[in-house]
């Protein structure tokens, strides 16, 4: 997705060197529709420049700072030399992330999605996240919970989560489930405590997996799992809940696993 408007002075933009002239460099702006900027030879590099081609080449991807914008004359003045190495790397990474997110949007919504629908979903995600990349990364980590406040229908939310979990590489994912544990026995409190210890794995959780069991409101307990990937996280969540259920039922009680809260958090 490209912006249809104009960049702002001071903004860092990514572009491809389209043409090199004696007086400067023309740059096609990758993030804006039909926008081309000019970097004067004095803004290409610091110091005296004998030959512009010693510093840039045609087809090269560059990061430039927007100096001035004149919409009436369709002119955008750029500076390459005003961008330091840290800014260049950070801007290039953000640009690459934006390209990835655009591809994920097409996977979620379909290659033939029309512009209006794409824009509508994108704006809904951007209302809650700084970028589409952040939205998809959060969806990969937290699933449906990440889109609870995003103004899209359930089918679209499911499509975004599926695309995220199939394509986004994240350092970890979080999943949450709930288990109801009840015992009418005289020592029922101990039975529930033993079931919670069973859910926590009694110290035998696999390396790289974090599992936390917390009280929500009797008889409901929350199980949170953090793991390197979604499949592992889901497996560990279900296994933890099954350990708790087996423990409480062995003591004559009852247990039930469910993914959503029975009541709103206090």
**Which tens digits make up the pLDDT trace of 10-36?**
999 999 999 999 999 999 999 999 999
**Global model pTM greater than 0.85:** no
What mean pLDDT is predicted for residues 83-103?
94
3-state DSSP percent of the chain in helix, strand and coil, to 5 = 40, 25, 30
User: Residues 114-171: pLDDT tens digits?
Assistant: 989 999 999 999 999 999 999 999 998 888 889 999 999 999 999 999 999 999 988 7
* The two three-digit tokens of residue 219, written as one number: 């008889």
Phi/psi for 198 (5° steps) reads -65, -40
- Intra-chain end-to-end CA distance of the chain, in Å: 41
> Kind and range of the H or E element at 237?
helix 230-250
* Predicted local distance difference test score (pLDDT) of residue 266: 44
What mean pLDDT is predicted for residues 98-103?
95
Q: Find the DSSP H helices in 11-51.
A: none
């Amino acid at each position: 997705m490209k912006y249809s408007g104009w960049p702002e002075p001071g903004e860092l933009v990514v572009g491809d060197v389209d043409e090199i002239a004696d007086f400067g460099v023309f740059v096609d702006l990758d993030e804006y529709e039909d926008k081309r900027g000019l970097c004067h030879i004095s803004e290409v590099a610091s110091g005296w420049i004998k030959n512009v081609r010693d510093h840039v080449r045609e087809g090269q991807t560059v990061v430039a700072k927007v100096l001035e914008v004149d919409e009436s004359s369709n002119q955008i003045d750029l500076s390459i030399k005003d961008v330091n190495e840290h800014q260049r790397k950070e801007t290039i990474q953000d640009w690459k992330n934006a390209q990835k997110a655009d591809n994920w949007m097409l996977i979620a919504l379909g290659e033939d999605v029309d512009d209006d629908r794409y824009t509508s979903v994108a704006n809904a995600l951007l209302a809650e996240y700084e970028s589409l990349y952040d939205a998809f990364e959060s969806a990969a980590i937290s699933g449906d919970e990440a889109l609870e406040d995003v103004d899209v229908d359930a089918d679209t939310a499911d499509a975004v989560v599926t695309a995220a979990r199939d394509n986004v590489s994240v350092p970890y994912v979080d999943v949450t489930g709930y288990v109801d544990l009840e015992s009418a026995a005289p020592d029922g409190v101990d039975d529930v405590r033993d079931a919670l210890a069973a859910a926590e794995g009694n110290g035998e959780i696999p390396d790289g997996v974090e599992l936390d069991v917390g009280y929500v409101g009797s008889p409901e307990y929350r199980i949170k799992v953090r793991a390197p990937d979604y499949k592992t996280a889901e497996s560990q969540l279900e296994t933890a809940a099954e350990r708790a259920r087996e423990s409480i039922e062995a003591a004559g009680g009852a247990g039930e696993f469910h993914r959503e809260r029975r009541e709103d958090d206090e």
